Amino acid sequence: MRSGELRVFVNEKPVSVTRGATVRDAVEVFDRELAGLLVSGAAHATDGVGRPVDASDPVGEGGAIFRVVVTARQGPPRLSKDLLRRWPKAELHVHLDGCLRPQTMLDLARSQGIRLPADTPEALARALSVQGSRSLEEYLAKYEITLSVMQTAQALERIAYEFVVDAAAENVRYVEVRYSPALHRPALTLTEAVEAPLRGLGRAAAETGTKTGLVVCGIRTLPPSVSLELARVAVDYKDAGVVGFDLAGAERGHPAREHRAAFEYAARHGLGCTCHAGEGDGPDSIHQALHDCGAQRIGHGTRLGEDAGLLEAVVERKIPLEMCLISNLHTRTVASLAEHPFKRYLERGVRVTLNTDSRLMDGVSLTDEYFHAHAGLGLGKEALAGVVLNACESAFLPEYEKVALVARVQSELEAL
């Protein structure tokens, strides 16, 4: 094999492609006619673990496996990633410390004299991938690496700015991004750690037109007094871009109710409250988030269906779930995409939304999440458009701004 070439497998046969080739290119080497069917929607491809892939996806690593089958299925043509990228979208659940550009990490590490596990963007993205994690706790360990280069105000500002530019490039019209200022001490004070990303978000919003909000996270494994401190600083910046308060971190053995004072303070002062729950632990954790902490939205909520009464209450109270399909695979919250309850909850009337959680570590874009909901779970165009509007309606925005966002996105969706 020549240098710059990769060997991947299509329907069990090895084929050589150049680095950066797409799935379509690989299938074309295997069988030109089959590639034509793939592009026209008459054939579909999956990866080595059965997840749907788009013809335009990069093949990624050498050794990657693809299966392509011709479908006799009649029905509406499959939505391509290209089309879904053009859809206007909104995202409510994404971690700033999970969304760095690999090249930016390398730049920051060089200027700060920090060693990273790899020295090219591709190798760094591989080293930070959470594919193959065995639990939420193992998944979270990768954040130590991204956080290592995020301990200056300039770094935080740049990362926030670039994140919004990247989100805007896939037509995200509104995004709430979260992180914990406590994880930037002692290098920065809490106020420095809040002001820096707000500067980046403001600059990117002005340039791209994408609306942004910052969500401050308490961390379950830190003392509740730190969560209260964080809720206070979040409230101090309420009129300067902070829109909400969240609780993140390892879930099992670290109950949300211990952090209730922080939620109470945030809610009393008009911040939106959300809480990661039902991801690394069961429905009792969701119950605590809603009933002890007063969360208005739930981060993930994947295990909600294990408690029928709670599921009913979530439907009745229109509690939005910030669901993240691929992240749930990586944390082993679900065993496979096919088993993900997203579609079931949607059909049951839960206000579900789609989110990335971590673009870098999970290796997904918001477009990818919509593509997986479509090609992997079978959601059609109407249902997906409803999910986009669910996200807009669940934004931590004043009512009049929310109405404007919903109207704008709805008319853009109709014009497509």
Binding-site ranges for Zn ion (CB under 5 A): 357
User: Shortest gap between Cβ of 321 and Zn ion (angstroms)?
Assistant: 12
Q: Is residue 357 near ligand ADE by the rule CB under 6 A?
A: yes
CA 89 to chain CA centroid, Å, is: 13
User: Residue from 91, 170, 195, 279 that binds ligand ADE (CB under 6 A)?
Assistant: 279
Q: Name the E strands within 223-317.
A: 242-248, 272-277, 297-300
Q: Please state, in angstroms and as integers, the Cα–Cα distance from residue 257 to each residue in 272, 281, 300, 310, 408, following that order.
A: 17, 14, 18, 17, 38
Q: Which candidate in 28, 251, 279, 393 is catalytic?
A: 279
CA R_g for the chain:
21
Partner whose footprint covers residue 249, from ligand ADE, Zn ion, none (CB < 5 to 8 Å by kind) = ligand ADE
> How far is residue 402's CA from residue 93's CA, in Å, rounded to a whole number?
17
> How far is residue 235's CA from residue 239's CA, in Å, rounded to a whole number?
8
User: Shortest gap between Cβ of 274 and ligand ADE (angstroms)?
Assistant: 12
Q: Which two tokens stand for residue 140?
A: 């979270």
Q: Is residue 297 near ligand ADE by the rule CB under 6 A?
A: no
Widest distance between CA atoms in the chain: 64
Residue nearest to Zn ion (CB): 357
Q: Is residue 359 near ligand ADE by the rule CB under 6 A?
A: no
User: Shortest gap between Cβ of 140 and ligand ADE (angstroms)?
Assistant: 6
> How far is residue 358's CA from residue 92's CA, in Å, rounded to a whole number?
12
User: Shortest gap between Cβ of 30 and ligand ADE (angstroms)?
Assistant: 36
Q: Applying CB under 6 A, what is the total number of residues that bind ligand ADE?
A: 11
Q: Is residue 276 near ligand ADE by the rule CB under 6 A?
A: yes
Nearer to Zn ion, 290 or 323 (CB): 323
Residue nearest to ligand ADE (CB): 248
User: Residue from 249, 272, 278, 341 that binds ligand ADE (CB under 6 A)?
Assistant: 249
Q: Which residue has the tokens 């479908």?
A: 71
Q: Which residues contact 108 (CB under 8 A, 6 or more apart)?
A: 114, 149, 150, 152, 155, 158
Interface stretch with ligand ADE, choices 3-11, 135-143, 161-169, 396-404 (CB under 6 A): 135-143
Q: State the angle between helix axes of 260-268 and 224-236 in degrees (0 to 180), rounded to the nearest 10.
A: 10
DSSP SS3 for 395: coil
> How far is residue 375's CA from residue 241's CA, in Å, rounded to a whole number?
36
Q: Is residue 285 near ligand ADE by the rule CB under 6 A?
A: no
Q: Does 279 participate in catalysis according to the annotation?
A: yes
Q: Which two tokens stand for residue 394?
A: 């669940």
Nearer to Zn ion, 60 or 272 (CB): 272
Q: Is residue 328 near ligand ADE by the rule CB under 6 A?
A: no
- The catalytic residue positions are 279
What residue ranges bind ligand ADE (CB under 6 A)? 95, 136, 140, 143, 248-249, 276, 279, 327, 357-358
